[in-house]
Chains A and B, each alone.
Chain A
Amino acid sequence: AQKVTQAQTEISVVEKEDVTLDCVYETRDTTYYLFWYKQPPSGELVFLIRRNSFDEQNEISGRYSWNFQKSTSSFNFTITASQVVDSAVYFCALSEARNGGFKTIFGAGTRLFVKA
């Protein structure tokens, strides 16, 4: 069964702190894709990063970095030197082949507050 768990409901940090958002997934497929999306207060979900199940190489993009570990079924997201503009809800998502297409499900999200 597909499942995405984001155990952290809310995180509050002070600007310039580093913060890690956790994501644990469940799947029976060997081929799948993982994503992180950001939903700012304006409401529209925005894609941040994707990973396929065969690529465990971690990635860094500016202040963002991602740690994918198949052994623990985790795909964690770290923001370094957080800024107030990072305040948003962050969703982890899992995409698997279903019925000729790809179905994506989301975790419940982690709300990040970055205080000045």
Chain B
Amino acid sequence: DTGVSQDPRHKITKRGQNVTFRCDPISEHNRLYWYRQTLGQGPEFLTYFQNEAQLEKSRLLSDRFSAERPKGSFSTLEIQRTEQGDSAMYLCASSLNSNNSPLHFGNGTRLTVT
């Protein structure tokens, strides 16, 4: 068990560029979650998957955000036409497929849009 892995750790991009982040969950975990965290705030729900199925996407999320989990293993989060307001820490978490399973978080990808 190597834990949840996220890549890259840091990303600096210019406004208008596209970025893609990757998350590798704990191998036996069926559920995978993406959250966004800004300074002084709690993790804000973005979307989650059960295996390869995307079960919910936050209504706060614009169409510039898309996530995939093509084979039910790793997941990618893409942000198109980045804006300065997208600057945040993007957290990935995974859990077992039982109702009260806690989330196991990765170290996050810090995005800075200049």
Does B103 make an interface contact (CB < 8 A)?
yes
Q: Which residue of A lies closest to B103 (CB)?
A: A104
| Segment 93-116 of A: residues with Cβ below 8 Å from B | 93, 95, 97-109
Q: Which residues of B are found within 8 Å of A64, using beta-carbon distances?
A: none
Docked-complex contact A109 and B41, CB < 8 angstroms: yes
Please tell me if the beta carbons of B56 and A109 are within 8 angstroms of each other in the complex.
no
Contact indicator B56/A99 (Cβ below 8 Å): yes
Complex CA–CA separation, A45 to B93 (angstroms): 9
Interface size class of B (residues with CB under 8 A): 20 to 34
- Inter-subunit contact A44/B56 (CB<8 Å): no
A75 within 8 Å of B by Cβ? Answer: no
Give the size range of A's interface with the partner. 20 to 34
In the A-B complex, list the 4 residue pairs whose CB atoms are closest, starting with the nearest.
Answer: A106-B42, A47-B102, A45-B105, A99-B55
Between A and B, 24 residue pairs with Cβ closer than 8 Å are: A31-B99, A35-B103, A43-B108, A44-B106, A45-B91, A45-B93, A45-B103, A45-B105, A47-B102, A47-B104, A50-B100, A91-B42, A93-B103, A100-B50, A100-B55, A101-B56, A104-B33, A104-B45, A105-B45, A106-B42, A106-B43, A106-B45, A108-B42, A109-B41
Interface, chain A (partner B; CB < 8 A): 4, 6, 31, 33, 35, 37, 43-47, 50, 52, 91, 93, 95, 97-109
